[in-house]
Amino acid sequence: MKLTKEMCEEHFAALPIDFQRWIVAVTVEYDSAVKQHPEWPEDLIHKAAIVAEESGELIQAALQYQYEKGRYYQMHKEATQTAAMCFRFLLNTPELPFNHD
């Protein structure tokens, strides 16, 4: 499926404001990560491992919140970082599936 600019703008505008805010928060985190760590692995295994590492930190934050009086905010922070690395993984794969007709 080809996603045009117009389709993306229309879809984004129709999203609830809280969803839009999370997308913006994830893209801000993505930009920060690219600036801080401009190098990105070439192979898919290491790319996926970075996503998995962030996901593991989200699990750790949830466990700490549940059982160790951890901070609720930390789960949001780790979820945002995980989503940003998912975007980075997707944007750095050999072919984007929606670029084709």
Q: What is the pLDDT of residue 72?
A: 95
CA-to-CA dists, residue 17 to 1, 13, 27, 94, 97, angstroms: 26, 9, 15, 32, 27
* Prediction pTM value: 0.88
11-30 per-position pLDDT tens digit: 999 999 999 999 999 999 99
Look-up of token digits 């997707």: 90
Q: What is the pLDDT of residue 77?
A: 97
Specify whether the CB–CB gap between 60 and 82 falls below 8 A.
Answer: no
43-99 per-position pLDDT tens digit: 999 999 999 999 999 999 999 999 999 999 999 999 999 999 999 999 998 776 665
